[in-house]
């Protein structure tokens, strides 16, 4: 396993950010990533100020299934008869992928508006902790447990990983899931895209400079996929 991947896994275990670039020709974006269960208001603040994209949760397929979290596309499809606009808005023309990974958006029930750094950190951290419990104990009613702590809609959107990470989809959701699994941690992360000052995503080179300046690891999708292929054999 490449040194940069090993250092990235160590940083994830220690609650630090890593920076993940997917690929040229896909989104071509770099995302902040950290384990959700270790999220603090400082994590949220830095992503908000220095990232500027959407602050979102990445959740492993198995945890999403235990929580009963649907893909939004499935939810829209089931509701299109009563609400035709849901059929009109079907995301069948995504330029960088064939399917959206978005599920529901959440707020923890102890939040106020849900948008502050403190509120989002609570939502992210407790979701990560609860998902870890759910993945260890399939017998509990996790739909009820999720509803006891969270409400929807909220200010933190959830993205579901595909059932087999990096086999049929190669987005940040799957890259983050694979990295957390290789780190031996609950595969639930918080992420945020890095935006530039020109109306576009922050250029790969500039994102790499930022990561290095703060002493963080910058990894590329192709490197993660290579490590994953060897690790998951």
| Structure tokens belonging to residue 136 | 């260890």
Q: What is the pLDDT of residues 170-228, one digit of tens each?
A: 789 999 999 999 999 999 999 999 999 999 999 999 999 999 999 999 999 999 999 99
What are the helix and strand counts (H, E) for the chain? 10, 7
Share the mean pLDDT of the chain.
95
- Which strands make up the sheet holding 150-160, listed edge to edge? 102-108, 150-160, 52-59, 188-194, 30-35, 18-21, 217-220
Furthest C-alpha separation in the chain: 53
- Give the mean model confidence (pLDDT) for residues 99-110: 95
CA atoms of 123 and 174, how far apart (whole Å): 21
Q: What is the pLDDT of residues 22-51, one digit of tens each?
A: 988 788 899 999 999 999 999 999 999 999
Q: For position 166, what pLDDT does the model report? A: 83
CA atoms of 198 and 129, how far apart (whole Å): 37
Nearest to 195 by CA among 31, 41, 20: 31
* Angle, alpha carbons 92-115-200 (nearest 5°): 50
Q: Which CATH architecture has domain 3-228?
A: Alpha-Beta Complex (3.90)
User: In 10 A of CB 224, how many CB atoms?
Assistant: 26
- Give the mean model confidence (pLDDT) for residues 146-168: 93
pLDDT band at 105 (very low <50, low <70, confident <90, very high): very high
pTM of the model: 0.94
Angle between helices 172-182 and 221-231 (to 10 degrees): 50
- Give the mean model confidence (pLDDT) for residues 65-94: 93
| CA distances (Å), origin 33, targets 43, 71, 214 | 9, 21, 14
């Amino acid at each position: 396993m490449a040194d940069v991947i090993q250092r990235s896994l160590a940083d994830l275990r220690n609650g630090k950010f890593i920076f993940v670039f997917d690929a040229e020709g896909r989104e071509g974006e770099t995302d902040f990533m950290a384990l959700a269960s270790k999220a603090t208001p400082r994590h949220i603040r830095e992503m908000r100020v220095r990232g500027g994209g959407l602050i979102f949760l990445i959740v492993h397929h198995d945890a999403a299934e235990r929580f009963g979290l649907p893909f939004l596309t499935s939810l829209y499809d089931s509701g299109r008869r009563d609400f035709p606009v849901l059929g009109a808005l079907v995301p069948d023309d995504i330029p960088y992928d064939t399917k959206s990974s978005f599920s529901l958006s959440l707020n923890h029930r102890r939040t106020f508006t849900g948008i502050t750094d403190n509120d989002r950190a609570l939502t992210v951290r407790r979701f990560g902790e609860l998902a870890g419990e759910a993945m260890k104990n399939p017998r509990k009613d996790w739909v009820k447990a999720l509803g006891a702590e969270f409400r929807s809609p909220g200010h933190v959107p959830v993205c579901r990983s595909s059932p087999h990470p990096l086999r049929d989809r190669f987005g940040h959701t799957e890259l983050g899931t694979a990295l957390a699994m290789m780190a031996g941690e609950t595969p639930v992360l918080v992420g945020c895209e890095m935006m530039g000052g020109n109306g576009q995503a922050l250029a790969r080179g500039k994102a790499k400079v930022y990561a290095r300046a703060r002493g963080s690891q910058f990894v590329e999708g192709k490197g993660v996929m290579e490590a994953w292929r060897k690790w998951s054999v």
